[in-house]
Amino acid sequence: MAGPPAPLSGRDVGSFAYLTIKDRIPQILTKAIDTLHRHKSEFFEKHGEKGMEAEKKAISLLSKLRNELQTDKPIIPLVENFADTDIWNQYLEYQQSLLNESDGKPRWFYSPWLFVECYMYRRIHEAVIQSPPIDDFDVFKESKEQNFFESLESVIALCTHLQELMETIEDLDENQLKNEFFKLLQISLWGNKCDLSLSGGETISQKTNIINSLEDLKPLILVNDMEHLWSLLSSCKKTREKASVIRVDIVLDNSGFELVTDLILADFLLSSKLATDIHFYGKTIPWFVSDTTIHDFNWIIEQVKHSNHKWVSKCGVDWENYIKMGRWVYHDHIFWTLPHEFCAMSQIAPDLYAELQKAHLILFKGDLNYRKLTGDRKWEFTVPFHRALSGFHPAPLCSIRTLKAEVQVGLQPGQGEQLTASEPSWLTTGKYGVFQFDGPL
């Protein structure tokens, strides 16, 4: 069998990868520099002259990074000592080993897109940790919080929907429960549209009530394996012994509105007894503008709990209780902010792989997870999802993703070509979505 195809790369002029490196990434860096600049007086109030010096240092490191990228300089090793520095530098050596001598060093536009994009966010983090005493500053925090506040009406609608559902959940028959499960899965899917890295850090919020749009959005789901998820979890529920656990793991993507949709789905899974325990996975450092960190996770729950809307605050109180009871568990792990595709996890992070193996089902939210699941490669559209996973299968898993990168597998013959003919940018606008399942082996 032939090996996997080449990774997506900025060397393909005009491709989404090329445009991301050329336009979107410099825009994100400019916004990060601007954010540091705007907090200058806050740094001074907190830390005096040291804060001002640190702000200047972080800005100069980020300006240098932007210049390296825009002039396609060689990619340089990380220098600041951190938990993952050695693994990153080994990976850089590995990228070097793939090149011919005549190619020189790995460069921004000629290396795999997944690698350089992850490297850029890791370098932003390096610039901040090299600049104490502001070394815990999250340059993306404001935009994540703004996304939540701008989506408040939708948050209220969703929390109200969930709380009204809770009042009758015990009385629902199997079919009604399944319909509610499908509804909340789709809400979690379309919540994934709110991605700040796609817009170069400009805010994208959810201003309409998503529940009313689900029927209209259904034709935009290109692969729909929701039935598989239902049959897996409902059979776990039927066969479960009194004391046994049904564990669903959710590998999170964006904070803000999307995280609320994930928490609402997780709440429903417990209340419907389709699961007994939910494990969430977030990022250890600020990542891809809007990705969830432990701070974002706790912040969202606090905001929801302190809402002056009764159903919203009821959700927040319940969520805090799930955490206290140990039925919701949050994990982070450095692997999620490494450049490796997931098929390398069992070698690079065997502890994380072993943790995921304890799940009955793993839900991978969003586009970056999909890129890492499939290796971010130039697969044919019809290649089976299982094959593109290249041996990664800790447990039955499902990708819940709106399309924002030029990689998509598991389509019907002709489906991709038809979409390309009618909508050339169908792979990258977040308009289309998938539920792609890889079941029990």
β partners of residue 328:
278
Q: What are phi and psi of 138, to 5 degrees?
A: -100, 110
Mean pLDDT, residues 177-191 taken together = 97
DSSP assignment letter at 276: S
Give dist(CA 278, CA 318) in Å, integer. 14
Return the amino acid letter for 323: I
Give dist(CA 185, CA 437) in Å, integer. 13
Q: What are phi and psi of 257, to 5 degrees?
A: -60, -40
Q: Record the tokens describing residue 67, joined without a space.
A: 């210049």
Residue 436 burial by Cβ neighbours in a 10 Å radius (0-12, 13-18, 19+): buried
Given pLDDT bands bounded at 50, 70 and 90, which one contains residue 103? confident
- The tens digit of pLDDT for each residue in 135-174 reads 999 999 999 999 999 999 999 999 999 999 999 999 999 9
Q: Are 138 and 79 within 8 A, CB to CB?
A: no
CA diameter of the chain: 69
Asked whether the predicted pLDDT for residue 133 surpasses 90, the reply is yes
Given pLDDT bands bounded at 50, 70 and 90, which one contains residue 209? confident
Whether the ω angle into residue 133 lies within 30 degrees of 0, i.e. cis, is: yes
Give dist(CA 110, CA 6) in Å, integer. 12
Mean pLDDT, residues 109-122 taken together = 97
Give dist(CA 79, CA 93) in Å, integer. 14
Q: Is the dihedral of CA 224, 230, 235, 237 positive or negative?
A: positive
Q: Give pLDDT, residue 204.
A: 58
Tell me how many degrees the CA angle 366-415-400 measures, rounded to the nearest 5. 15
Return the amino acid letter for 3: G
Mean of pLDDT over the chain? 95
Give dist(CA 92, CA 73) in Å, integer. 14
Q: In 3D, which of 157, 159, 400 has the Cα closest to residue 264?
A: 159
Asked whether the predicted pLDDT for residue 345 surpasses 60, the reply is yes
Q: Could you give the percent of the chain with pLDDT greater than 90?
A: 92
Q: Are 236 and 248 within 8 A, CB to CB?
A: no
- The tens digit of pLDDT for each residue in 4-63 reads 999 999 999 999 999 999 999 999 999 999 999 999 999 999 999 999 999 999 999 999
Mean pLDDT, residues 61-71 taken together = 98
Mean pLDDT, residues 87-116 taken together = 94
Given pLDDT bands bounded at 50, 70 and 90, which one contains residue 102? confident
Give dist(CA 359, CA 394) in Å, integer. 8
- For 140, 143, 204, 216, 231, the CA distances from 197, given in Å and listed in that order, are 10, 11, 10, 26, 34
Asked whether the predicted pLDDT for residue 239 surpasses 80, the reply is yes
Q: Give pLDDT, residue 260.
A: 97
Given pLDDT bands bounded at 50, 70 and 90, which one contains residue 87? very high
Give dist(CA 252, CA 291) in Å, integer. 8
- The tens digit of pLDDT for each residue in 193-204 reads 866 566 565 665
Mean pLDDT, residues 72-98 taken together = 97
Return the amino acid letter for 294: I
Q: Give pLDDT, residue 247.
A: 98
Q: Give pLDDT, residue 343.
A: 98
Non-local CB neighbours of 255 within 8 Å, separated by 6+ positions? 144, 147, 148, 290, 291, 292, 293, 296, 297, 300
Non-local CB neighbours of 296 within 8 Å, separated by 6+ positions? 141, 144, 255, 256, 259, 282
Mean pLDDT, residues 60-84 taken together = 97
Q: Give pLDDT, residue 199.
A: 58
- The tens digit of pLDDT for each residue in 260-290 reads 999 999 999 999 999 999 999 999 999 999 9
Asked whether the predicted pLDDT for residue 238 surpasses 60, the reply is yes
Residue 328 burial by Cβ neighbours in a 10 Å radius (0-12, 13-18, 19+): buried
Q: In 3D, which of 356, 350, 348 has the Cα closest to residue 331?
A: 356
Asked whether the predicted pLDDT for residue 255 surpasses 90, the reply is yes
Asked whether the predicted pLDDT for residue 104 surpasses 90, the reply is no
β partners of residue 437:
398
Residue found by looking up tokens 């940018």 in the block: 425
Mean pLDDT, residues 230-250 taken together = 92
Asked whether the predicted pLDDT for residue 93 surpasses 60, the reply is yes
Q: Give pLDDT, residue 197.
A: 61
Q: Which helix (H) or strand (E) holds 146?
A: helix 141-150
Q: In 3D, which of 394, 374, 395, 375 has the Cα closest to residue 386?
A: 374
- For 35, 159, 203, 432, the CA distances from 265, given in Å and listed in that order, are 33, 11, 24, 20
Give dist(CA 91, CA 87) in Å, integer. 6
